[in-house]
Amino acid sequence: MKTIYFIRHAKSDWSGNCSDFDRDLNARGLENALFMAKRLKKYGVKPNIIISSPAKRAFNTAKIITERLKTQTQEKIFKTDINLYLTSPKVYLETIRQINDKYKTVFIVGHNPAITEICESLSGANIGNIPTCGIFCIEFNVESFSKISSSDGKKLFFDFPKKHKI
């Protein structure tokens, strides 16, 4: 079994003159990332590896969640992949298929619309939109990430901050 937690970055800051890639989290984004990390911790979620877009808002969302879960040494499990920035569901799937099979539980932190589209494709669910800091978890009955394909997954849960009115 393989489990992937798809996490859309938290709310970002649109003020200032920085590039899209360099936009950081705003105050609500920081609060939401902390809140969702607590939710994951409450349920004992422990990723073996976290793969994040290197865009500042995604990277910082992943970093906050990683730190709050008190996972293993970050250098060993935290990776960035430029292919997850402003891309397509096809590229997400290619990234997933390259994950080392020694891992069982993976966090992938990225951006819309691709993160919503890959979740819909892999689970067969009609999501419409994963909101900022939303988490969509899919379980796959496979031994190898390279075997994952469309509609193979089973949705385990879909959670996001606004669901809890924070």
Q: Mind listing the pLDDT tens digit for each residue in 136-164?
A: 999 999 999 999 988 789 999 999 999 99
Provide the pairing of β-strand 105-110 with 49-52: parallel
- Report whether pLDDT(74) > 60: no
Q: Which amino acid is at 105?
A: T
Q: What is the pLDDT of residue 70?
A: 74
- The band of 72, judged by pLDDT with boundaries at 50, 70 and 90, is low
CB neighbour list of residue 49: distance below 8 Å, 6 or more residues apart = 77, 78, 79, 99, 100, 103, 106, 107
- Report whether pLDDT(83) > 90: yes
Q: How far apart are the first and last CA of the chain?
A: 33
Give the residue from 37, 51, 31, 55 showing the smallest Cα distance to 111.
Answer: 55
Residue 133 to residue 148: CA distance in whole angstroms: 24
- Over the stretch 93-123, which tens digit does the pLDDT of each residue have? 999 999 999 999 999 999 999 999 999 999 9
**36 token code pair:** 């969702």
Residue 6 to residue 136: CA distance in whole angstroms: 5
Q: Which residue shows structure tokens 């902390």?
A: 34
Q: Which residue shows structure tokens 């990723």?
A: 47
Candidates 3.30.300.30, 3.20.20.105, 3.40.190.10, 3.40.50.1240; correct CATH number of 2-133? 3.40.50.1240
